[in-house]
Amino acid sequence: MTKIPEYKIEITNDGQVRVEVVGSQGQQCFELADLIRDIVGHEESRQKTAEYYSQDGSVHIQGMQHGRVRDQTDH
Amino acid sequence: MSAVCVLTPIVIGSWPMIATAVGGVAASLGFSVATGGHEVEQKKTGNTVETELADSEVITEGVSHGQSITIQRDDATVRIGRDERGRCTVCVTSDNLSKAEMKALGDEVSGRLIQQFTYHKLVTELKQRRFEVVEEHMTEDASIQMRIRFGGSSI
């Protein structure tokens, strides 16, 4: 099922704006964030979240290894 | 979540956009807008504290120099205008408040002005791009929270 991306926007009482782009990944996510930035003004920070990297919105943990943790003294 | 951004607004707008935001400020802080469309003269006897919105520019198209809007409450009068450099100014006058209290009120009005300006600009421009506000409410600390979605099936 295709998710419809949406914004969650909070404008604080001193005018700061916090935007979450939900339901979108990769380039589209950044384009949606850019749209709000272009309307509002300066970007103070931007943080990618797990969903940004996902193809389907699910969270994947990569690089998991099976087996015992190798002891640093174990050569 | 996919991405989280924190933004600081730039207030650049025509006088009608500023006036709309001032109306929102007055309503949210218990002020009334001075009626009659005429600028209310500041009390000559009152103390005055003036601040300016740093990232602001009032576009002068159709605006006469010195144009302003005055809002009033029992304890203070606040004039929102434009200085000679085009920046938006907030001037608090009061017989009852201390300088520190007037400064705090000026900061509060300035913050709410930025908030209201940003709110109206965001909603207007996103609606033009076929987005729709699906949820909106004000929190206890007067922050505005919204959920906005594209009107079509996909963006």
For chain A, where are the alpha helices, taking DSSP H only? 26-40, 50-53
pLDDT in tens, A48-73: 876 666 655 544 444 444 444 444 44
Q: Which member of B4, B118, B144 has the closest CB to residue A47? A: B4
Chain B interface with A: residues with Cβ < 8 Å: 1-10, 55, 108, 111-115, 117-119, 121-122, 125-126, 129, 131, 134, 141-150, 153-155
Q: Which residues of B touch A33 (CB under 8 A)?
A: 3, 5
Q: Which member of B3, B108, B125 has the closest CB to residue A49? A: B3
Can you tell me the ipTM of this complex? 0.86
- Residue B149's pLDDT band, with cuts at 50, 70 and 90, is very high
% of chain B residues with pLDDT over 70? 85
Q: Which residues of A touch B118 (CB under 8 A)?
A: 11, 15, 17, 40
**Shortest Cα distance from A7 to chain B (angstroms)?**
5
**Shortest Cα distance from B38 to chain A (angstroms)?**
28
Query: Of residues B96 and B44, which shows the higher confidence score?
Result: B96
pLDDT in tens, B36-72: 444 445 444 568 999 888 888 887 765 555 678 999 9
Task: Please report the pLDDT score of residue A59 as a whole number.
Answer: 47
Task: Please report the pLDDT score of residue B153 as a whole number.
Answer: 46
Mean pLDDT of the region B136-146: 95
Task: Please report the pLDDT score of residue A75 as a whole number.
Answer: 44
- Distance between CA B111 and CA B25 in Å, rounded? 9
Q: Sheet containing B32-33: which strands, arranged edge to edge?
A: B32-33, B69-72, B77-82, B88-94, B47-52
